[in-house]
């Protein structure tokens, strides 16, 4: 069963259980998937679905920060529940140590030295760790590895 099929099944289950919060989040995810398919005239595979889920989770994190800063705790409290529903569709994430080890290997493979090679390294990191790691953590690991390579 593809990830997209699993999302559809979960939506039906949420409908039967009358779980309106979960249902709303899944419908939002399905709308984002459908929008991508219509805009690009493609059928999404699991990797593309994971990328969209990642994007929606990042939006939730940004919303929490914005709502908290604006003093709208009522809205900020709703976002973590949506993030939890979305995170169920992501594969297991790499730990910070695993991310750092992968980044060090990529830096060594590319022979990157110093912050000037950040773009080149991040391109390789995104290709290798897409869906497996939080890209913010990967970016921090790349900065640390390149600053360490520079000294």
Confidence at residue 149, expressed as pLDDT on a 0 to 100 scale: 54
Domains identified in the chain and CATH numbers: 3-87 (1.10.1510.10), 96-150 (1.10.10)
Confidence at residue 19, expressed as pLDDT on a 0 to 100 scale: 92
pTM of the predicted model as reported, rounded to 2 decimal places: 0.72
CA angle at residue 29 from 27 to 30, to 5 degrees? 65
CA atoms of 106 and 101, how far apart (whole Å): 9
What average pLDDT values come out for the chain (151 residues) when binned by 10 residues?
91 94 94 94 87 91 93 90 90 83 86 81 83 81 77 43
Give, rounded to a whole angstrom, the gap between the first and last alpha carbons of the chain: 49
């Amino acid at each position: 069963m593809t990830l997209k099929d699993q999302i559809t099944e979960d939506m039906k289950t949420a409908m039967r259980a009358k779980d309106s919060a979960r249902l709303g989040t899944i419908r939002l995810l399905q709308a984002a998937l459908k929008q991508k398919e219509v805009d690009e005239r493609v059928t999404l595979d699991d990797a593309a679905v994971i990328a969209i889920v990642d994007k929606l989770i990042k939006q939730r994190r940004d919303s929490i920060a914005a709502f908290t800063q604006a003093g709208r705790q009522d809205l900020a409290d709703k976002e973590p529940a949506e993030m939890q529903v979305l995170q169920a569709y992501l594969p297991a994430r790499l730990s910070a140590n695993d991310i750092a080890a992968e980044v060090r290997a990529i830096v060594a493979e590319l022979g990157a030295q110093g912050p000037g090679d950040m773009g080149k390294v991040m391109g390789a990191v995104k290709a290798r760790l897409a869906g497996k790691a939080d890209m913010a953590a990967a970016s921090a690991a790349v900065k640390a590895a390149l600053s360490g390579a520079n000294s």
